[in-house]
Amino acid sequence: MKTCAVVLAAGLGKRMKSATPKVVHNLLGRPVVTYPVEAVKAVTGVSKIVLVIGRHSEDKLKAIFKDDPVVSFAYQENLLGTADALKSGLGCLNGEQFDYTVVTTADAPLIRGETLQGLIDTHISGGNAVTVLSFVSKNPSSYGRLIRNPDGTLKGIVENPDATEEERKINEVNSGIYVFSQHALPLLDMIQVNAKKGEFYLTDIVSVAAEHGLRVDAQKMLDEDEFIGINSRAELLQALNALKRRINRHWMDEGVTLMDENTTLISSSVSIGRDTIIYPNVILEGKTIIGEGCVIYPNVRIVDSIIERDVVVKDSTLIEDSKIDSGAAVGPFAHLRPGAVIGKKAKVGNFVEIKKSTLGNNTKASHLSYIGDAAVGDNVNIGAGTITCNYDGVNKFKTVIEDGVFIGSDSQLVAPVTVGKGAFVGAGSTITHDVPADALAISRVRQRTIIDWVKAKFKK
């Protein structure tokens, strides 16, 4: 059994009023279109996915899927409607035949692989030519209505502008997702242009097939959320809320405590260990992995990072492309920029920024520091206000701070520079030369104290 999938994504999405194609808009950290593509990948037997692209969406969609070997692109020359889009998609198969073709719209991101699998199973077991995935909608006006014969068999699909008053009352609507058998595809050529919109509607394949005596059927679903189609910003938010809820419920079921379901945004690519506690207003994005027993305090955003177990991330902290080892504490108001690697039980405190640097186990940078391009060993104490001067305006240089070093507060380390094992740097120093192990380096001006200077100056 050979199956291919065609994902229709050539439209611009006028109702979004956006310069960005609708299906490229961000939904919980990922473009909308990546969701249906992922869902069709989960269907057994799908060996090819064709993404139908158009003038407006071409560059961005090609960029999103450039490293995906399963996705190929078909170009729809003119946006002549969903039936024309499918024809463009099939046109790029170079005559390769598939027993079944799954078609999905690219703007319905909540669709699950299991649902598509169920649809194709129904299609095959029913011996259908066309199977439509339908759902019951409380607010059906932005979807096509399913028209059934008195005996319940499917007669056709009518779009809202073309529907009669009576038909508009129907609440079973088209999801824009279908399965076609090979022999149904030639019917695409029989679809007539819709006079009102000047487009060829894929929905019309249902009535054409029924008129030709082919088996058409609909699989009716009851969970409306899974089929939300995004045509406007309001529907984008509706989809976001539904997806957020689905993901948040999943993590609660897996043993994660959420303190506020509404303001916790977790991308579908994130994973979280048991007994982790997440406070309100937390955003977890990308390929972030969080271990067991962590606490993530409010207003934290973590992107593409690995957080091992028992880590505490305190309020208002941003962590990007970084790794934090177990038992460490980061924040409040810390910024881990790409390439920060924080050791076991290390501490990164208030207003500390770390970039492309390693901090060893038990090392502390508790206050107001910038650490960039540095390798910091274990058990190091970095005093308040320490700065690695890693950039001379042209090049970046490395700072090495070996195990057990003590850097006094308000010191600057002018890279390239190495502070050897166990050495001390006196507070307020500007270190421009390497400091040997166990040495004390101090570069501040010696203090002068003039007794009774104030009296002498002001009390004449």
Three-state secondary-structure class, residue 283: strand
Spell out the residues 6+ positions from residue 244 whose beta carbon is closer than 8 angstroms to its own: 28, 261, 262, 264, 265, 266
Q: Which part of the chain contacts ligand UD1 (CB under 6 A), choosing from 74-82, 208-216, 335-343, 433-441?
A: 74-82
Per 3-state DSSP, the chain is made up of helix, strand and coil in percentages (nearest 5) of: 25, 30, 45
Q: Does 11 bind ligand UD1 (CB under 6 A)?
A: yes
Three-state secondary-structure class, residue 105: strand
Among 30, 75, 79, 430, binds ligand UD1 (CB under 6 A): 79
Contact 301, 288 (CB under 8 A): no
At its nearest, how many Å lie between ligand UD1 and the CB of residue 281? 32
Contact 437, 422 (CB under 8 A): yes
Is 395 annotated to bind ligand?
no
Q: Does 229 bind ligand UD1 (CB under 6 A)?
A: yes
Could you tell me the CA-to-CA distances from 205 to 105, 181, 188, 254, 289 in Å, in that order? Answer: 15, 12, 6, 43, 45
Shorter beta-carbon distance to Ca ion: residue 11 or 408 = 11
At its nearest, how many Å lie between ligand UD1 and the CB of residue 416? 53
Shorter beta-carbon distance to Ca ion: residue 231 or 238 = 231
Q: Does 231 bind ligand UD1 (CB under 6 A)?
A: yes
Q: Measured in Å, how far apart are the chain's first and last C-alpha atoms?
A: 104
Q: Does 107 bind Ca ion (CB under 5 A)?
A: yes
Classify residue 125 by burial, with Cβ atoms within 10 Å: 0-12, 13-18, 19+: exposed
The tokens for 422 are 């166990």
Shorter beta-carbon distance to ligand UD1: residue 242 or 441 = 242
What is the DSSP secondary-structure string of 33-75? THHHHHHHHTSTTEEEEEEEE-TTTHHHHHHHTTT-TTEEEEE
From Ca ion, ligand UD1, none, which one binds at residue 143 (CB under 5 to 8 Å depending on kind)? ligand UD1
Looking at this protein, which amino acid is placed at residue 150? P
Three-state secondary-structure class, residue 327: coil
Q: Does 203 bind ligand UD1 (CB under 6 A)?
A: yes
Q: Which part of the chain contacts Ca ion (CB under 5 A), choosing from 102-110, 183-191, 262-270, 321-329?
A: 102-110
Contact 210, 154 (CB under 8 A): yes
- Does 433 participate in catalysis according to the annotation? no
Shorter beta-carbon distance to ligand UD1: residue 141 or 182 = 141
Q: Does 85 bind ligand UD1 (CB under 6 A)?
A: yes
What CA–CA distance (Å, rounded) separates 13 from 92?
24
From ligand UD1, Ca ion, none, which one binds at residue 144 (CB under 5 to 8 Å depending on kind)? ligand UD1
Q: Does 80 bind ligand UD1 (CB under 6 A)?
A: yes
Q: What does the DSSP 8-state code read for residue 142?
A: G
Q: Which part of the chain contacts Ca ion (CB under 5 A), choosing from 76-84, 103-111, 187-195, 450-458?
A: 103-111
- Residue 343 phi/psi, 5-degree rounding, is -75, 175
Q: Which of 25, 212, 367, 433 is catalytic?
A: 367
Q: Which part of the chain contacts Ca ion (CB under 5 A), choosing from 43-51, 224-232, 319-327, 418-426?
A: 224-232
Print the SS3 string covering 208-261. HHHHCCCCEEEEEECCHHHHCCCCCHHHHHHHHHHHHHHHHHHHHHCCCEECCC
Residues 34-63 that bind ligand UD1 (CB under 6 A): 52
Q: Total residues at the site for ligand UD1 (CB under 6 A)?
A: 30
Binding mask 26-65 for Ca ion (x = CB under 5 A): ----------------------------------------
Is 194 annotated to bind ligand?
no
Among 159, 285, 308, 310, binds ligand UD1 (CB under 6 A): 159
User: Where does residue 18 fall: left (phi above 0), alpha (psi -120 to 50 degrees), or beta otherwise?
Assistant: beta
Q: Which part of the chain contacts ligand UD1 (CB under 6 A), choosing from 171-179, 255-263, 310-318, 399-407?
A: 171-179
Among 348, 323, 327, CA closest to 338: 323
Residues 299-358 that bind Ca ion (CB under 5 A): none
Spell out the residues 6+ positions from residue 146 whose beta carbon is closer than 8 angstroms to its own: 132, 134, 154, 157, 170, 172, 173, 174, 218
Binding site for ligand UD1 (CB under 6 A): 8-11, 23, 52, 76, 79-82, 84-85, 105-108, 143-144, 157, 159, 173-176, 201-203, 229, 231
Instruction: List the binding residues for acetyl-CoA.
Output: 384, 390-391, 409, 427, 444
The catalytic residue positions are 367
Instruction: List the binding residues for Mg(2+).
Output: 107, 231
Instruction: List the binding residues.
Output: 8-11, 22, 76, 81-82, 107, 144, 159, 174, 231, 337, 355, 370, 381, 384, 390-391, 409, 427, 444
Instruction: List the binding residues for UDP-N-acetyl-alpha-D-glucosamine.
Output: 8-11, 22, 76, 81-82, 144, 159, 174, 231, 337, 355, 370, 381
Binding site for Ca ion (CB under 5 A): 107, 229, 231
